[in-house]
Structures are given as C-alpha cells and as structure tokens.
Amino acid sequence: MSTQTSREALQALDRQDPLARFRDRFVLPEAVIYLDGNSLGPLPVGAAERAAEVVNEQWGQGLIRSWNTAGWFELPTRLGDKLGTLLGANPGETVVTDTTSLNLFKALASALRIQQVDGPGRRVIITERDNFPTDIYIAQGLADLLNSVTTETGVDYEVRLIDTQDELLAALGPDTALISLSHVNYRTGRMWDMPAITAAAHEAGALAIWDLAHAAGAGAGGPERGRRGLCGGLYVQVPQRRAGRPGVHLGQRPAPAAFLATALRLVVARPALCHG
C-alpha cells in the first residue's frame, strides 16, 4: 500500500473530505491544527453568545421562572434525544446530565446497591488498567467508601484490574458485582467487544456499565438503534431476568440514584433493551 504525503496530495484529500465543511463551525486560533477531542474540544461558533444569553436573559431576567419558560426542566431529555441520533438510540433513551465522572459514580453505586440485594457476595468491580484514570479512581473511591461503612458480610469491595478480554473473561465469577469499561480507549482508540463482554458478564450474574465517551460514530461495535438503554454518556445494561423482577423496579428500592433509576425505568418499560 502506498501512502501519499505530498502537500498537494493531502490538499486533494482535504477537498474530498465530506466533513471538511464542519471546520467553519468551530472557532480556532489562526494556524492551529487541533486534534484533541478528549477533554476539551474546540469552541463551536455561537457558543459564547448562547452562553451569555442564557446567563443574562434566562438566569438574569427570567430567574426561577426559566425552569418552565426557558424549558430547563426538559433539557436533559431534549438534549438527550439530539445526542441519541448520533449514538443510534431511540427517542427517550438518552439523558444528558452532570459529567461523565458523576454519572459513573451514580451508575456504579446504584449497580452495587442492586447486587447488595440480588448477590450480596458479589463485591468485585472489574475494570481495565488502561481505562480513563478517573473511571478507575471513582471505582476505587466507591469501594473504599463502602468498605468504611459496611461490615455485615465481612467481605470487602475490591477493584480488579485487567488488561485483555481473555483476562476479563477469566476474572468473571461468583464474586463479580459488575464490570465497568470504556468502549473506546481515550488514547489508543482500541475498542472492546461490547456485545460479547456484556453477554459474558450477564451470564456470570454481573452487571455491565459502559463509558461511551468517544464511542459515538466510532464503529459498528457501538450501540445499535433500538437495542440498548443509553444514559448521560454512559450505557447501563441490566439482564432481563433482573429488570423483569419486581425488586428492581423504581419505588420498591430505597432511594436508588436518579441516574440509574432512569435507566432502569427504561429497561423495565422496554425489556428488549436489555439484550446485548
């Protein structure tokens, strides 16, 4: 395979690029080529003006009325549906709320809460060593927090780090509470086999929580339309046998975090979402 690297060849490729016209939708300093889409992408044109309008008019003038008059109440689902079209989710399946880290904390805490009832001996969280660092810190912090306040079984919560799919499958067992993985690695772009791993986790009685940052549009392994529940940048899957059981339904659990409650409500309402 030959690689064309002359300036003319690259400019010709640029002219054929179907995404080239989107360059004008972003503000970038002169002569800067910016490839960082990870933590802080470039500023979209009009974003600064829109933010000023929200602060000055909706907040400054509308005050508390803006929850209704400016539609703040509906923003999580309205924005979620817009994002859902990129993710391949159906309307009503995606919610925009908080940050990825906060959502992950809520999802992990809620999933462990489910396992405290459904599988009290399950206290291991499996995640990847090369995961986004805060994803690991959140799992470790939650395990530490729970270990400092729960003593009833004498079994500590533990985060187990794996590197490969084989290691992951070998690590799944009767002590696994959940797996927490990022579908697309933020540095290398490596992608996990989400359907196969989720099915294996469910088979082992574990829950599967996926961080989908960087996954939108990244390949065929992503969420498929109508098949999965997506929430706030995270993807939460609950095996159907659990979702269908009365104990998992909202209101029959003491105060599950709102984030996972939303996901569970979706899953309970549409059991087809549960299959990986």
The site for ligand PLP (CB under 6 A) is made up of: 38-39, 99-101, 132, 134-135, 182, 186, 211, 213-214
Residue in the block written with tokens 């899957």: 237
Cβ neighbour number for residue 216 with a 10 Å cutoff: 17
Closest approach, Cβ 269 to ligand PLP, in A, equals 27
Closest approach, Cβ 133 to ligand PLP, in A, equals 9
- Distance, in Å, from the CA atom of 43 to the CA atom of 26, rounded to the nearest integer, reads 6
Residue in the block written with tokens 């529940």: 229
Choose between 90 and 97: whose C-beta lies nearer to ligand PLP.
97
Closest approach, Cβ 102 to ligand PLP, in A, equals 7
Closest approach, Cβ 31 to ligand PLP, in A, equals 26
Cβ neighbour number for residue 196 with a 10 Å cutoff: 13
- Distance, in Å, from the CA atom of 94 to the CA atom of 259, rounded to the nearest integer, reads 11
| Phi/psi of residue 140, nearest 5 degrees | -65, -40
Question: Which residue minimizes CB distance to ligand PLP?
Answer: 101
Choose between 38 and 68: whose C-beta lies nearer to ligand PLP.
38
Closest approach, Cβ 255 to ligand PLP, in A, equals 23
Alpha-carbon dihedral 265, 126, 158, 161, rounded to 10 degrees: -150
Element housing 180 (H / E): strand 176-182
Cα of 202 vs its chain's centroid, Å: 18
Choose between 90 and 127: whose C-beta lies nearer to ligand PLP.
127
Choose between 41 and 271: whose C-beta lies nearer to ligand PLP.
41
Closest approach, Cβ 38 to ligand PLP, in A, equals 5
Choose between 222 and 239: whose C-beta lies nearer to ligand PLP.
222
Closest approach, Cβ 190 to ligand PLP, in A, equals 12
Per-residue burial over 157-177, b = 16 or more CB atoms within 10 Å of its CB, e = otherwise:
bebebbeeeeebeebbeebbb
Closest approach, Cβ 244 to ligand PLP, in A, equals 31
What are the residues whose beta carbons fall under 8 Å from the beta carbon of 183, sequence distance 6 or more?
191, 192, 194, 210, 211, 212, 214, 215, 218, 221, 222, 235
Choose between 179 and 248: whose C-beta lies nearer to ligand PLP.
179
Choose between 231 and 268: whose C-beta lies nearer to ligand PLP.
231
Cα of 95 vs its chain's centroid, Å: 10
- Distance, in Å, from the CA atom of 136 to the CA atom of 114, rounded to the nearest integer, reads 20
Choose between 100 and 110: whose C-beta lies nearer to ligand PLP.
100
